[in-house]
Chains A and B, each alone.
Chain A
């Protein structure tokens, strides 16, 4: 049901924004283009992305920049949508925004650890926005990872990161990145309780499905490529799944080999994503996207007066960007159209 007063306006706005999504026809046309510049040109001239790209010269944009531009635009819309809400719901957007801030922070840590130049780092920072909690300028100016830690002292990130940064020389970036992910998930989990029941349930479902897929992917990789004990594997999973509870996760972590693992996965509703475990990595990644896309399209169609429409739109917009970037990348590396199709989501 939902409350009309809260959602009627924003849902209408979102319907208008959804009109700007690419149609399957347009996707095909981009895939059919000859090369990189033709693809970007099509994107600029023949799709609603004209508004975003019109001030840029095609020759001057290269792949990474394009992704940057699209994501910046995405964050702008993200921020604009937050204005339709008030109180806890407005705060929800700041909390959801942490996902992007964490991505930028990971880039900053990596760049400082590897000693990259400030200009390189500048071009990687995508998500500057009024919703930001950190001072990007100071962080970019930092000499090394320890100084980055200093500048984060007055943010909520320091609580969980402080003691890890000291040991970065021996342990590398892994712990920092997982700590950042933890902060991201934890913040959302704690905050969802402030929403009304219907929205709380929906958010739990959306996050839960995402967590389930991430967990399975993580355990799969952990078993296949890393020599981690099952306990460690389990410790790195995220607990708030939708279909997979702690026991299911334990089973997966402690499975003896890949066959047993695949058998267990095939019993879940995520079987189509992982199949028999012999799929290529990139195909699993694509199918995770497909699964999520299907789910969000359902909610888009239902168009209920609750948070699902807004979340679905934001996720679908992000998936569209991922697809566009994949296609553009394929063009850049002169991959054939049939091959390209393997990298993009198929459901439309």
Chain B
């Protein structure tokens, strides 16, 4: 990871920003912060003289360009065309915003006419369909529309009103001065055809308004009987549908002709938006801009290639992380073997590895799978997990959880063969290794030994990480360091010799050894500082340090003991797994009915998969996080996220 500073004159800022986005290799950092920390170094050469002088007037970049016009036009374009675009090459993109707007206007103009036509025809179709429906309510009348219009004393109306209101007409019909016929009704509404004297028009209108009726518009500009009109409208509809099809085709044609241009425009606009985002990190003066960010080693070539476009118009300064201010941490580029990649999400739940730490995902994956398999060893149930994981991964596109589930399923199946357990039944296949329930003591002791093994590996990781960080105090003398490791192993050996009565060193020798190691742990800070020739010897008050140290000793002893014993739960849950099935098996046998027993076995398996699976998942995670991660993993980093197009 390299810290990169870019300086150039303000008039090329837009272009530089866009090329940086296209390189997809820079993780931007706020330049003002950098400058404030006086980390922004420019070598004093003649080339940089102007930039150096201007430096005094530096301020953060505030965007003044207004893209709202372009944004609106793009939105308009999106409304007309909803399809996805094809891929666009970087060199095809339009970088200049006025050129972009020009092209956009050109394209929109092409579409505008066709789109206008289309909406015109669509509205016309809606109106025709409304007419058609409304005229259908009087389709049985044999008179022509002109005759009806020309009636001297009567007029005709069609209303649609709520069904319950129509009841009011029926109940008071004798008092209503009109002929009302209703043949059409649906769940909510009823249609009434009203034939009334013209002098009563006002009253009838008021009457129907009081019934919350909607007047249906009839196509009175047509000629002929309602049946004729209906046919006429049908013909018109055919025409209008053809028109709509033509307009749609015209739009399609225009789209096909200009689809590349549209794709270019949209992608160019995306580029503009991203580079706008990048510019928020930029600091500038009147003449010059200053851009900072992290670039990963592997991406440096790509970055330089894109920047080479600007030749000598920009200055690029690179610095390695150790020459950067202590406070600043570089981002971590995450890279893991595909076999263990799904487990990343579980590790990063705890924290993202910091730049100097090793990524624990590999160890996490292997240890977690082993523990899960040990605790949940069953061929059948493991296969269920495997299938569920594959389903999630491929059908539901849930890569992380599906991947984890599938791998846990595999581990569970392998241990199922080792335990000889298929869906809980232990009489189907022979165990390749051991039956848990029949070897309780062995299971528990093995669990503890496994725990010791994992803890020792944890210690080793801690040593590696401390070495990478260059932390002598904790790496050598700390409770998670070399001294701690030696102490732990000595404790184990001591315990083993005492329990199994093996001859070894004198008890007194052991005690002296332990006391010396503990003393080293207590005095770690002054000793480390003496070795490094650093003064003062204590970073804090002497009494504070020793009180802390004293409690530290107690805590070390306790935690070593408890962490080790904690792993006994691996064995316990393996037994638990079998025990739970025994419970269901007993119930099934008590039922003594073929179907009932089968049901009980199935139910038992479902409950075990759900309940026990969840418990084992969580317990394994706890062992990883608390017993192991707290030894060697800080997780205080942040992810390397170069600015570029959305994936």
> A residues engaging B (CB < 8 A)?
159-160, 162-164, 171, 175, 178-179, 182, 186, 189, 229-232, 234-236, 239, 246, 250, 254
Contacts and interface: CB of A to CB of B under 8 A. Distances in A.
B398 interface: no
B162 interface: yes
A182 B212 contact: yes
Given A163-B214, A171-B209, A250 B167 contact: no
B130 to A, nearest CB: 12
A175 B209 CA distance: 8
Interface in B159-195: 162, 164-165, 167-168, 171-172, 175-176, 188
B162 A235 contact: no
Residues of B contacting A: mostly: helix
B150 interface: no
B600 to A, nearest CB: 31
B206 interface: yes
Contacts of A235: 165, 168, 172, 207, 210-211
Given A231-B176, A235-B168, A246-B171, A182 B162 contact: yes
Contacts of A246: 171
B172 A239 contact: no
Nearest to B208: A235
Contact of A178 (B164, B171, B212): B212
B318 interface: no
B534 to A, nearest CB: 59
Given A163-B214, A175-B212, A250-B171, A232 B162 contact: no
B171 A229 contact: no
Interface residues of B, number: 19
Contacts of B168: 234-235, 239
B203 interface: yes
Contact of B162 (A160, A164, A171): A160
A179 B212 contact: yes
Contact of B206 (A229, A230, A239): A229
A229 B164 contact: no
Given A162-B214, A186-B162, A250-B171, 4 more contacts: A182-B212, A231-B176, A231-B203, A239-B164
A336 B164 CA distance: 47
A179 B211 CA distance: 9
Considering residues A163, A171, A179, which has the most beta carbons from chain B within 10 angstroms of its beta carbon?
Answer: A163
Contacts of A162: 214
Contacts of B212: 160, 164, 175, 178-179, 182
Question: 9 tightest CB-CB pairs across the interface, nearest first?
Answer: A235-B210, A163-B214, A232-B210, A246-B171, A235-B211, A179-B212, A235-B168, A231-B175, A236-B210
A186 B215 CA distance: 21
A292 B172 CA distance: 30
Nearest to B163: A186
A160 B212 CA distance: 7
Contacts of B188: 159
A236 B212 CA distance: 9
Contacts of B203: 229, 231
5 contacts: A160-B162, A171-B209, A231-B210, A235-B172, A239-B168
Nearest to B176: A231
A231 B172 contact: yes
Nearest to B212: A179
Contacts of A178: 210, 212
Nearest to A245: B171
Contacts of B167: 239
Interface in B207-235: 207, 209-212, 214-215
A175 B165 CA distance: 14
Nearest to B213: A163
A163 B206 CA distance: 15
Contacts of A163: 214-215
Nearest to A182: B212
Nearest to B160: A163
A52 B211 CA distance: 42
A231 B172 CA distance: 7
B415 to A, nearest CB: 45
A141 to B, nearest CB: 21
B617 to A, nearest CB: 34
Nearest to B214: A163
A250 B210 contact: no
Contacts of A160: 162, 212
Contacts of A175: 209, 212
Nearest to A167: B209
A160 B163 CA distance: 12
A229 B203 CA distance: 8
Contacts of A232: 206-207, 210
Contacts of A171: 209
B211 A186 contact: no
B49 to A, nearest CB: 57
A182 to B, nearest CB: 6
Interface in B305-330: none
A186 B176 CA distance: 24
A207 to B, nearest CB: 14
Nearest to B172: A234
Contacts of B176: 231
Nearest to A246: B171
A251 to B, nearest CB: 12
A236 B208 CA distance: 11
A250 B171 CA distance: 9
Nearest to B203: A229
B212 to A, nearest CB: 5
A229 B175 CA distance: 10
A258 to B, nearest CB: 20
A254 B167 CA distance: 18
A231 B171 contact: no
A230 B175 contact: yes
Nearest to A235: B210
Contacts of B207: 229, 231-232, 235
Contacts of A231: 172, 175-176, 203, 207, 210
Contacts of A250: 171-172
A175 B175 CA distance: 22
A162 B176 CA distance: 26
Nearest to A229: B203
Nearest to B164: A186
Contacts of B171: 246, 250
B526 to A, nearest CB: 59
A159 B449 CA distance: 74
B164 to A, nearest CB: 6
Instruction: Kindly name the residue among A162, A232, A254 whose own CB sees the greatest number of chain B CB atoms within 10 A.
Output: A232
A182 B189 CA distance: 14
Contacts of B165: 182, 235
Nearest to A185: B164
Contacts of B175: 230-231, 254
Nearest to A247: B171
Nearest to A238: B164
Nearest to A237: B168
Contacts of A164: 212
A149 to B, nearest CB: 14
Most chain A CB neighbours (cut-off 10 Å) among B168, B203, B210: B210
Contacts of B162: 160, 182, 186
